[in-house]
């Protein structure tokens, strides 16, 4: 019996188990990644460096994440997510360990490379294909939304976890503890292991990797979606990493930054769930335009309102409603356009744009702050980009390519 026939005969793992394993991995990887802003001040103070090297290390992590997500997605689409998760899990463990033992900016940059390689295979983009293929078409957006919700839950748990560790054992030992925590990713890879079967890919004509890219690159809506996701990355990376320092610069205690980012995590669970359900009532492009438009209001509040600790937490909660709610809508549109055979890889390309935005946001925030000692210009840039993203999603055509129109839904 051929390997393909054996794979086809192997019983599919239930959707709930796939979602539970993928969601737990995403919660660990994305949640613990979000806490890096808590280490900006203590780490840079101890090493005697400015904020720019730390911000650049995070930018390198985000750029590496984006580039390697395409590779991780292609491998996961071809051979299954299990192998990718083992390698990426070990890279994640190593990145936190190296961050804890860093002696200079170069160590931080290497840690950033490892962190990017780790989250490339353990984050939402690498796992949307596995979850998307396991879910029927009518439940796909909601199933993928569960990954964004898991990221929010992970963030909600990770911030108090890291904060308590920092306060009790110090920032270096806390990074060691987080490194050990990430070892949990390895056994969780099992339910997601195994090569995707022909039935999971669907009935549409099979494509090679090159054919999939060629088809996507000829699709105008794919490029609009990709451009909008650049803005998403810019916003999330800048806000997530620099908010604790912004709060500290205002003379507020450290708990304000922690609670504000926890508020993002809580609201993100609600927002991502709502986004997953919204596809039943409105077009996904309309939902995406609304999300980016609402982000601009949150940033305006940080510029013009008289900021207090609780107001910053409230604004963060508002922003959290529109945080990862972009992911189920964006990734499902990729599946609608091109089917699920190369869904992780093609969404990985869209996500590369997201990470280029992350790199730009982190690099620009660190550079502008070190030269102006203010984040005001970054809030204005974030507002302008939010309005740009709201506009460019409007012309997207939410329909499959011609190759799929005569085929059953996948």
Note the pLDDT of residue 59: 82
Mean pLDDT on 84-98: 94
Per-residue confidence (pLDDT) for residue 12, from 0 to 100: 67
- Is the pLDDT assigned to residue 35 strictly greater than 50? yes
pLDDT in tens, 218-276: 999 999 999 999 999 999 989 988 998 899 999 998 889 889 988 988 898 899 889 98
Highest mean pLDDT among 34-38, 238-242, 283-287: 283-287
| SS3 labels along the chain | CCHHHHHHHCCCCCHHHHHHHHHHHHHHHHHHHHHHHHHHHHHHHHHCCCHHHHHHHHHHHHHHHHHHHHHHHHHHHHHCHHHHHHHHHHHHHHHHHHHHCCCCHHHHHHHHHHHHHHHHHHCHHHHHHHHHHHCCHHHHHHHHHHHHHHHHHHHHHHHHHHHHHHHHHCHHHHHHHHHHHHHHHHHHCHHHCCCCCHHHHCCCCCCCHHHHHHHHHCCHHHHHHHHHHHHHHHHHHHHHHHHHHHHHHCCCCHHHHHHHHHHHHHHHHHHHHHHHHHCCCCCHHHHHHHHHHHHHHHHHHHHHCCCCHHHHHHHHHHHHHCCCCHHHHHHHHHHHHHCCCCHHHHHHHHHHHHHHHHHHHHHHHHHHHHHHCCCHHHHHHHHHHHHHHHHHCCCCCCCCCHHHHCCCCC
In the predicted structure, residue 375 carries a pLDDT above the cut 70: yes
What is the average pLDDT across 271-291? 91
Mean pLDDT of the chain: 87
Q: What is the pLDDT of residues 389-398, one digit of tens each?
A: 999 999 999 8
Q: Cα–Cα distances in Å, from 52 out to 75, 250, 259, 369?
A: 34, 19, 24, 8
Structural domains present in the chain = 12-404 (1.20.1250.20)
Asked whether the predicted pLDDT for residue 198 surpasses 70, the reply is no
The Cβ of residue 280 has, within 10 Å, a number of other Cβ atoms equal to 9
* For residue 1, pLDDT beyond 60: no
Question: What's the pLDDT score for residue 142?
Answer: 80
More confident site: 16 or 229 = 229
Local confidence band at 408 (pLDDT 50, 70, 90 cut-offs): low
Q: What's the CA gap between 77 and 345, in Å, rounded?
A: 7
Q: Which of 232 and 149 is assigned the larger pLDDT?
A: 232
| Look-up of token digits 């390519």 | 401
In 3D space, the residue among 17, 52, 69, 12 whose CA is nearest the CA of residue 353 turns out to be 69
Predicted pLDDT of residue 80: 82
pLDDT in the model for residue 205: 60
Q: Among 9-23, 236-250, 276-290, which is the least confidently predicted range?
A: 9-23
Tens digits of residue pLDDT in 325-351: 998 899 889 988 988 778 888 988 998
Q: pLDDT confidence of 162, banded at 50, 70, 90?
A: very high
For the cut 80, the answer to whether the pLDDT of residue 85 exceeds it is yes
Q: Is the pLDDT of residue 320 over 50?
A: yes
Choose among 233, 252, 262: nearest CA to 365: 233
Highest mean pLDDT among 42-56, 117-131, 170-184: 170-184
Least confident of 1-5, 78-82, 294-298, 342-346: 1-5
The segment with the largest mean pLDDT, out of 121-125, 142-146, 212-216, is 212-216
Q: Of 353, 315, 97, 127, nearest to 225 (Cα)?
A: 353
In this predicted structure, the answer to whether residue 110 has a pLDDT above a threshold of 80 is yes
């Amino acid at each position: 019996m051929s390997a393909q026939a054996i794979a086809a005969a192997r019983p599919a793992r239930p959707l709930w188990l796939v979602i539970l394993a993928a969601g737990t991995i995403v919660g660990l990887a994305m949640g613990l990644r979000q806490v890096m802003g808590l280490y900006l001040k203590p780490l840079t103070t101890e090493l005697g460096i400015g904020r720019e090297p730390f911000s650049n290390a995070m930018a390198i992590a985000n750029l590496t994440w984006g580039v390697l997500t395409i590779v991780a997605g292609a491998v996961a689409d071809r051979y299954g997510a299990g192998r990718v998760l083992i390698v990426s899990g070990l890279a994640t463990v190593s990145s936190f360990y190296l961050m804890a033992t860093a002696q200079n900016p170069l160590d931080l940059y290497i840690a950033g490379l490892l962190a990017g390689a780790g989250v490339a295979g353990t984050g939402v983009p690498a796992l949307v294909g596995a979850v998307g293929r396991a879910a029927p078409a009518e439940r796909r957006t909601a199933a993928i939304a569960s990954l964004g919700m898991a990221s929010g839950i992970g963030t909600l748990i990770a911030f108090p976890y890291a904060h308590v560790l920092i306060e009790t054992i110090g920032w270096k030992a806390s990074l060691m503890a987080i490194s050990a925590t990430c070892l949990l990713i390895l056994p969780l890879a099992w339910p997601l292991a195994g090569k995707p079967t022909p039935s999971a890919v669907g009935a549409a004509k099979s494509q090679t990797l090159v054919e999939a890219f060629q088809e996507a690159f000829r699709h105008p809506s794919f490029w609009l979606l990709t451009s909008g996701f650049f803005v998403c990355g810019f916003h999330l990376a800048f806000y997530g990493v620099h908010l604790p320092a912004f709060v500290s610069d205002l003379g507020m205690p450290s708990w304000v930054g922690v609670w504000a980012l926890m508020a993002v995590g809580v609201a993100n669970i609600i927002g991502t769930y709502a986004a997953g359900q919204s596809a039943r009532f409105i077009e996904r492009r309309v939902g995406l335009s609304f999300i980016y438009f609402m982000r601009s209001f949150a940033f305006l509040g940080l510029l013009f309102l008289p900021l207090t600790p609780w107001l910053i937490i409230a604004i963060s909660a508002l922003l959290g409603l529109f945080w990862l709610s972009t992911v189920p809508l964006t990734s499902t549109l990729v599946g609608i356009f091109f089917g699920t055979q190369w869904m992780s890889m093609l969404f990985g390309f869209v996500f590369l744009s997201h990470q280029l935005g992350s790199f730009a946001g982190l690099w620009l925030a660190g550079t502008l702050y070190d030269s102006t000692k203010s984040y005001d210009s970054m809030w204005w840039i974030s507002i302008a980009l939010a309005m740009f993203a709201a506009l460019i999603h409007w012309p997207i055509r939410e329909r499959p390519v011609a190759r799929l129109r005569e085929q059953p839904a996948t």
